[in-house]
Amino acid sequence: MAAFQINDTVDITDVVCPTTFVKAKVALEELDEGQILSIHMNDGEPVQNVPRSIKEEGHKILKLIDNADGTYDLLVQKVGE
Amino acid sequence: MAVDYATLKKGGFMRQKQKNHFSLRLRVVGGNLTAEQLAKIAEVAAQFGDGHVHLTSRQSVEIPFVKLEDIDAVKAALAEGGVEPGVCGPRVRTVTACQGEAICPSGCIDTYALAKELDERYFARELPHKFKFGITGCQNNCLKSEENDLGIKGGIKVQWKKENCIACGVCVKACRSGAITLQDGEITLDESKCNFCGRCCKSCPTEAWDETHGYIVSFGGLFGNSICKGEPIIPFIADHEKLMQLCDAAVQFFADNAKAGERFRFCLERVGFDKFREKMEEVYHGSISDQ
pLDDT at B1: 53
pLDDT at B290: 46
In a domain? residue A58: yes
Please judge whether B203 and A55 are an interchain contact, meaning their C-beta atoms are less than 8 angstroms apart: yes
A contact test, residue of B164, B203, B206, B207 with most A CBs within 10 A = B203
Please judge whether A47 and B173 are an interchain contact, meaning their C-beta atoms are less than 8 angstroms apart: yes
CA atoms of B193 and B247, how far apart (whole Å): 27
Give the count of beta carbons closer than 10 Å to the beta carbon of residue B16.
Answer: 13
Number of domains in chain A: 1
- How near does any CA of chain B get to the CA of A2, in Å? 11
The CA–CA distances, whole Å, from B236 to A68, A71, B84 equal 36, 35, 35
Domain ranges of chain B: 5-80, 96-289
* Beta carbons of A30 and A39 less than 8 angstroms apart: no
Mean pLDDT by runs of 10 across the 291 residues of chain B is: 70 90 96 98 98 97 95 95 94 97 97 98 96 98 98 98 95 96 96 97 96 98 96 97 98 98 98 97 76 42
Please judge whether B168 and A62 are an interchain contact, meaning their C-beta atoms are less than 8 angstroms apart: yes
pLDDT at B3: 67
pLDDT at B10: 77
Pick the catalytic residue from A17, A31, A64, A65. A17
The CA–CA distances, whole Å, from B7 to B10, B11, B15, B25, B125 equal 5, 6, 11, 14, 14
Q: Residue B144 contacts by C-beta under 8 Å, 6 or more apart in sequence?
A: B134, B136, B151, B223
* Beta carbons of A38 and A50 less than 8 angstroms apart: no
CA atoms of A45 and A43, how far apart (whole Å): 7
- How near does any CA of chain A get to the CA of B256, in Å? 47
The whole domain housing A41 covers: 8-77
pLDDT at B291: 42
pLDDT at B2: 59
DSSP codes, B173-225: HH-SSS-EEEETTEEEE-TTT-----HHHHH-TT--EEEEEEEEEEE--EESS
Nearest CA in chain A to B171: A48
Per-residue pLDDT band at A23 (split at 50, 70, 90): very high
Question: What residues in A contact B173, CB-CB < 8 Å?
Answer: 43, 47-48, 51, 64, 72
In a domain? residue A2: no
In a domain? residue A34: yes
Please judge whether A55 and B169 are an interchain contact, meaning their C-beta atoms are less than 8 angstroms apart: no
pTM above 0.80, yes or no: yes
Phi, psi of B266 (to 5 degrees): -75, -30
We report the CATH number of the domain holding residue A57 as: 3.30.110.40
pLDDT at B200: 97
In a domain? residue A46: yes
Into which CATH architecture does domain B5-80 fall?
2-Layer Sandwich (3.30)
In a domain? residue A56: yes
CATH tag, B96-289:
3.30.413.10
CA atoms of B109 and B154, how far apart (whole Å): 5
Asked about A36 being catalytic, the answer comes back as no
pLDDT tens sequence across A45-61: 999 999 999 999 999 99
